[in-house]
């Protein structure tokens, strides 16, 4: 017999179609002499078309037999008679001459009916299950397009097509042929083997999918591990860059803070200090100060671990010594390498006005930021930044900014010559006291920093207001001495004595 011409697979995309085409080729080789099956396969393009053809034949068969009353009665009667079949068989053994021939004929007839019913029901059930299997196989091939899966799908499709072709032949057969097939080849003999193969190959594909899924999960874990390593490496690089960028931004913020604090009506504090140093040098040889009471009080104030404020009260006769003492205190603290800021009256000081307190706090803040600039770079935050400093308006605002600027320091000295606020009079005596109270607020509210404030003044009206309004403030009165020479003038090493004296606690 000549083999049929090769049926080329229709070019379609996807692993499912490829598997179907290869399955068709295998069937063509296996059934090369079956022209009816070859012709049917030529008109189909994928496994879904095969299923659709069988489903249509099944529907036509159901419509053709749906209204058959005889079929319904025979089905019901055969079921009931076969239920009592064992009992009747026992009776037939006792009276074979009466029922043997008739019963054998009826039993044969009813077995044919039941076989036909079983075939109809089982075929419908099998086609339904195959309809559920095919979409799953298609998704499995799309997910795992490997040679193993393609081979398994080809093998499954071969059995599915065989089953479908055999089912199609049964549905299209005549009633007499159904009766003969029900006797010759009931469902279990004709279809059960193919259905078992389909179930087996479907389970095999499911097992392969589970195995491939585990492999995919392992690959995903490996990829995730590599990605985590790459992310960590990039994070480290970007973190370093962002840290440098953040530090640069903070440095700009600190520069802007300094720019916002440099505009003040008071002279530059460094120029004021140099002016006071020059004036003090010209006064060497004048009557000095009595160290007996002054030195111990200053040592105790300097050695205190907590914040404190001390008022050094001079008088008219000691006004120059009072101013020189403020200058020398700044020099000695700087020489001891301790952080110090100051407010000294320079060559020219503004007259008393309502902005004097704010401008003086602003100048002190500028000194603190310059003194603490390295720590300020890391301290820039939502609570302390250039916009907040630029928006400060009141004395309270600038006091808060000054307090923030002290962050990171363990201690700081603040030397204030009250003459910087202008000449004291009955009108502005209250203004001096208000600024003194601002300094008290700073000392009492700051945390984590030992702020040691020394306020110097020879104005008696201001001294009296302090003793009245702040009686708890430590007050030291200055007294002059009439001797000259080694212990006379306010020299470089006076009134503190030798800076290397073990009694002095600047460290």
Q: Which pLDDT score, from 0 to 100, does residue 356 have?
A: 86
Query: Do 46 and 20 touch, CB atoms closer than 8 A?
Result: yes
- Rounded CA gap, 414 and 62, in Å? 106
pLDDT tens digit string along 484-505?
433 334 444 444 433 333 333 4
- Rounded CA gap, 58 and 167, in Å? 9
Q: Which pLDDT score, from 0 to 100, does residue 136 have?
A: 86
Q: Is the pLDDT of residue 87 over 60?
A: no
CATH topology of domain 262-477: Rossmann fold (3.40.50)
Q: Which pLDDT score, from 0 to 100, does residue 383 have?
A: 75
- Rounded CA gap, 499 and 477, in Å? 22
Q: Does 506 or 150 have the greater pLDDT score?
A: 150
Confidence band for 181, pLDDT divided at 50, 70 and 90: low
Quote the pTM value.
0.53
Q: Does 20 or 207 have the greater pLDDT score?
A: 207
**Per-chain mean pLDDT for the chain:** 75
Q: What is the mean pLDDT of residues 463-490?
A: 69
Confidence band for 273, pLDDT divided at 50, 70 and 90: very high
Tokens of 473: 């403030």
CA atoms within 13 A on the CB side of 395: 14
pLDDT tens digit string along 137-146?
888 888 888 8
pLDDT tens digit string along 37-54?
555 555 555 656 656 665
Q: Is the pLDDT of residue 340 over 90?
A: yes
Query: How much of the chain is helix, strand and coil, in % rounded to 5?
Result: 70, 5, 25
Q: Show me where the domains of the chain are located.
A: 15-221, 262-477
Least confident of 275-289, 353-367, 438-452: 275-289
DSSP secondary-structure letter at 317? G
Confidence band for 309, pLDDT divided at 50, 70 and 90: very high
């Amino acid at each position: 017999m000549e083999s049929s011409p090769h049926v080329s697979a229709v070019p379609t995309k996807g692993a499912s179609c490829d598997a179907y085409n290869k399955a068709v080729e295998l069937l063509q080789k296996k059934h090369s002499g079956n022209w009816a099956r070859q012709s049917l396969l030529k008109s189909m393009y994928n496994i879904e078309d095969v299923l659709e053809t069988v489903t249509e034949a099944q529907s036509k068969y159901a419509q053709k037999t749906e209204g058959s009353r005889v079929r319904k009665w025979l089905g019901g009667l055969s079921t009931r008679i076969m239920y009592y079949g064992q009992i009747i068989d026992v009776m037939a053994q006792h009276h074979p001459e009466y029922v043997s021939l008739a019963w054998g004929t009826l039993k044969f007839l009813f077995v044919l009916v039941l076989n036909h019913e079983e075939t109809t029901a089982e075929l419908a059930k099998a086609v339904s299950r195959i309809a559920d299997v095919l979409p799953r196989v298609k998704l499995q091939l799309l997910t795992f397009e490997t040679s193993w899966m393609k081979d398994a799908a080809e093998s499954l499709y071969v059995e599915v097509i065989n089953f479908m072709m055999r089912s199609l032949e049964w549905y299209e057969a005549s009633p007499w042929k159904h009766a003969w097939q029900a006797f010759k080849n009931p469902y279990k003999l004709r279809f059960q083997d193919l259905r078992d193969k389909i179930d087996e190959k479907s389970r095999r594909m499911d097992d392969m999918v589970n195995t491939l899924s585990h492999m995919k999960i392992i690959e995903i874990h490996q990829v995730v591990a590599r990605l985590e390593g790459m992310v960590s490496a990039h994070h480290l690089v970007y973190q370093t860059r962002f840290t440098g960028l953040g530090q640069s931004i903070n440095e700009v913020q600190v520069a802007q803070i300094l720019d916002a604090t440099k505009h003040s009506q008071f002279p530059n504090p460094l120029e004021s200090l140099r002016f006071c140093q020059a004036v003090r040098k010209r006064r060497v040889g004048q009557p000095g100060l009595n160290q007996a009471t002054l030195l111990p009080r200053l040592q105790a104030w300097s050695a205190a671990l907590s914040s404190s404020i001390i008022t050094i009260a001079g008088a008219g006769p000691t006004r120059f010594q009072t101013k020189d003492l403020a200058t020398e205190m700044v020099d000695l603290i700087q020489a001891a390498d301790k952080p110090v800021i100051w407010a000294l009256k320079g060559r020219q000081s503004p007259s008393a006005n309502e902005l004097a307190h704010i401008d003086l706090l602003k100048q002190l803040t500028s000194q603190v930021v310059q003194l603490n600039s390295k720590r300020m770079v890391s301290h820039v935050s939502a609570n302390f930044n250039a916009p907040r400093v630029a928006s400060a308006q009141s004395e309270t605002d600038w006091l808060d900014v000054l307090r923030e600027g002290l962050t990171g320091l363990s201690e700081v000295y603040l030397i204030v010559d009250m003459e910087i606020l202008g000449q004291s009079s009955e009108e502005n005596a209250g203004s001096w006291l208000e600024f003194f109270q601002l300094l008290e607020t700073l000392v009492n509210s700051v945390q984590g920093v030992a702020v040691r404030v020394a306020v110097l003044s020879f104005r008696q009206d201001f001294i009296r207001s302090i003793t009245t309004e702040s009686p708890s403030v430590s007050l030291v009165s200055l007294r002059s001495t009439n001797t000259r020479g080694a212990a006379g003038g306010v020299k470089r090493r006076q009134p503190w004595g030798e800076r290397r004296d073990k009694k002095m606690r600047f460290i």
